[in-house]
């Protein structure tokens, strides 16, 4: 079999066989197929798509490219959550501790930033000393001891996805339903949780720009998860503007801490309660969503979820004091505000532009080797529907490099659409997709 023929077949709209998919996945993982051929194939898949069967085969081949975790050393029903990627999406930092504070074991594997979207692993590394590359043994031990561990995709877990994820990030091949479905579900299958809750984003800041595409992706992933015996739910949520106000690693960590401390943004809390209720009910720790949400609010009120975050940070060798003193988190040296040029209502915010600006400031990766700046980013002051008078602050930029700041500010021009008339708030939670296990 030759990689050249596989690329040409997909380029011409053909359907790949299981053998061809396995040949590509195993060869690329082993380093026998070079990046340029893998890039060509992913670009061909981007344009030509994949059938349901091809996507399922690709997912399984990627899941089996490394170890499949057996989480049986952890007692209880294990839950995991994954987002398709958004701007300002710090839900895992809030949700993990909330669910764990209710006694539901959270064994979570997270990713780094991708394209204009941020990743939980980068955000967690804002805590000085935090280790995301913990061993499997430590991972199990931490979940058993404190109820939660969040690890990066280290070791030998879905190594095919690890390589492809980094490649897609820098070759403009992220926004593909089969590639996203296979990437996420291969990791989730390999990571072994019994209950998987997926947050599928739709809108200008998401990889799936339309609700229709997001629904296709959600259904595809739920189907794959269900077929391998995992209780899988997908929540389709709006990403037409950043979630919360903060975009950028340590800035988002601060917002997550504030949310766990009871004063976070409404949209972030709403999404955490929705996703969290599926995790808690799926694990059998609450009868129904209403009861689960009540319990999730209780662990914010009594601060046990905030304490759980500090325990998580400490357990992974980070400085847990930063949960109570955010001055210990990385901070930028330059602060600049952007003001409204006219009076009016915020009709919309170009969400992908905000993500891109954060990346340009240094908060995301331009190449596979880029080292990111954890302290930079943007904090919005106005969100959609808010009224802004001329001169009001729309957003604050946090930077360390004057040239990068100027570049980001010029890209930000026109990111806010301001109009004369009041605007109706869009619904955050759009759809919930489940499929009963056969």
* Sites of contact with ligand URA (CB under 6 A): 84-85, 111, 114, 165, 174, 179-180, 183-184
Long-range CB contacts (within 8 A, 24+) of 11-15: 11/40, 11/44, 11/47, 11/48, 13/48, 15/51, 15/53, 15/54
- 237 given a catalytic annotation: no
Nearer residue to ligand URA within complex by CB, 117 or 126: 117
For the record, the structure tokens of 190 come out as 């390999």
Residue 108 annotated in active site? no
Question: Which positions ≥6 away from 325 have C-beta within 8 Å?
Answer: none
CB nearer ligand URA, residue 110 or residue 258: 110
Q: How far is the CB of 162 from ligand URA (least distance, A)?
A: 10
Q: Say which residues have a Cβ less than 8 Å from residue 51's Cβ, sequence separation at least 6.
A: 15
Residue 424 has a CB neighbour count (10 Å cut-off) of 7
Taking the C-alpha atoms of residue 134 and residue 152, their distance in angstroms, rounded to an integer, is 8
Q: How far is the CB of 211 from ligand URA (least distance, A)?
A: 18
**Rounded least distance, CB 111 to ligand URA, Å:** 5
Question: Of 110, 183, 186, 375, which is the active-site residue?
Answer: 183
Nearest alpha-carbon partner for 361 in 345, 376, 340: 376
**Between residues 84 and 126, which has the closer beta carbon with respect to ligand URA?**
84
168 assigned to active site: yes
Report the candidate in 384, 378, 350 with the shortest Cα–Cα distance to residue 364.
Answer: 378
Nearest alpha carbon to residue 93 among 310, 319, 371, 304 = 310
Least distance to ligand URA, CB of residue 246, Å: 20
- Catalytic status, residue 122: no
Contact 149, 134 (CB under 8 A): yes
Element (H, E) at 107: strand 106-109
Indicate the residue among 111 and 242 with the shorter CB distance to ligand URA.
Answer: 111
Catalytic residue among 10, 187, 231, 278: 187
Q: Which residue, 216 or 331, has its beta carbon nearer to ligand URA?
A: 216
Instruction: Give the H/E segment covering residue 215.
Output: helix 211-227
Which residue out of 80, 161, 169, 199 is catalytically annotated? 161
- Give the DSSP H/E element, type plus range, for residue 3: helix 3-11
Q: How far is the CB of 133 from ligand URA (least distance, A)?
A: 17
CA 169 remoteness from chain centre: 14
**Annotated catalytic residue, options 112, 168, 201, 219:** 168
The helix or strand, by DSSP H or E, that contains position 53, with its residue range, turns out to be: helix 52-63
- The residue (of 125 and 161) whose beta carbon lies closer to ligand URA is 161
Nearest 5°: the CA angle 214, 296, 114 is 35
Least distance between ligand URA and beta carbon 160 (Å): 12
Q: Is 82 a catalytic residue?
A: yes
Nearest-angstrom CA–CA distance, 352 and 415: 9
Point out the residue whose Cβ comes nearest to ligand URA. 183
Name the residues annotated as catalytic: 82, 161, 168, 183, 187
């Amino acid at each position: 079999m030759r990689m050249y023929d596989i690329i040409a077949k997909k380029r011409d709209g053909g359907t790949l066989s299981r053998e061809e998919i396995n040949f590509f996945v195993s060869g690329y993982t082993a380093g026998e197929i070079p990046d340029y051929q893998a890039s060509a194939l992913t670009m061909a898949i981007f344009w030509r798509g994949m059938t349901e069967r091809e996507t399922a085969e690709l997912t399984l081949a990627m899941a089996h490219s490394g170890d499949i975790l057996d989480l049986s050393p952890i007692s209880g029903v294990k839950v995991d959550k994954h987002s398709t990627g958004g701007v300002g999406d710090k839900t895992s930092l809030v949700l993990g501790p909330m669910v764990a504070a209710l006694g539901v074991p959270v064994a979570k594997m997270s990713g780094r930033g991708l394209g204009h979207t941020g990743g939980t692993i980068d955000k967690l590394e804002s805590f000085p000393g935090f280790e995301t590359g913990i061993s499997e043994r430590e991972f199990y031990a931490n979940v058993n001891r404190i109820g939660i561990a969040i690890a990066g995709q280290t070791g030998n877990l879905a190594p095919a996805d690890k390589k492809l994820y980094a490649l897609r990030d820098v070759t403009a091949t992220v926004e593909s339903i089969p590639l996203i479905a296979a990437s996420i579900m291969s990791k989730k299958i390999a990571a072994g949780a019994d209950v998987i809750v997926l947050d599928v984003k739709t809108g200008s800041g998401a990889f799936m720009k339309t609700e229709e595409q997001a629904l296709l992706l959600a259904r595809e992933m739920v189907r794959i998860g269900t077929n391998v015996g995992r209780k899988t739910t997908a929540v389709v949520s709006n990403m037409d503007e950043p979630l919360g106000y903060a975009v950028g690693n340590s800035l988002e960590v601060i917002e997550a801490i504030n949310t766990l401390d009871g004063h976070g943004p409404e949209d972030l809390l709403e999404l955490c309660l929705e996703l969290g209720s599926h995790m808690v009910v799926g694990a059998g720790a609450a009868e129904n969503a209403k009861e689960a949400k009540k319990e999730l609010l209780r662990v914010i009120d009594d601060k046990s979820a905030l304490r759980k975050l500090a325990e998580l940070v400490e357990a992974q060798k980070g400085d847990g004091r930063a949960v109570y003193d955010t001055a210990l988190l990385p901070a930028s040296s330059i602060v600049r505000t952007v003001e409204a040029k006219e009076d009016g209502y915020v009709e919309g915010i170009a969400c992908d532009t905000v993500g891109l600006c954060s990346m340009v400031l240094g908060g995301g990766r331009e190449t596979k080797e880029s080292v990111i700046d954890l302290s930079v980013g943007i904090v919005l002051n106005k969100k959609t529907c808010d009224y802004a008078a001329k001169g009001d602050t729309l957003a604050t930029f946090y930077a360390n490099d004057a040239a990068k700041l100027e570049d980001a500010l010029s890209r930000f021009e026109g990111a806010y659409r301001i109009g004369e008339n009041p605007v109706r708030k869009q619904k955050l939670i759009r759809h919930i997709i489940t499929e009963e296990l056969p």
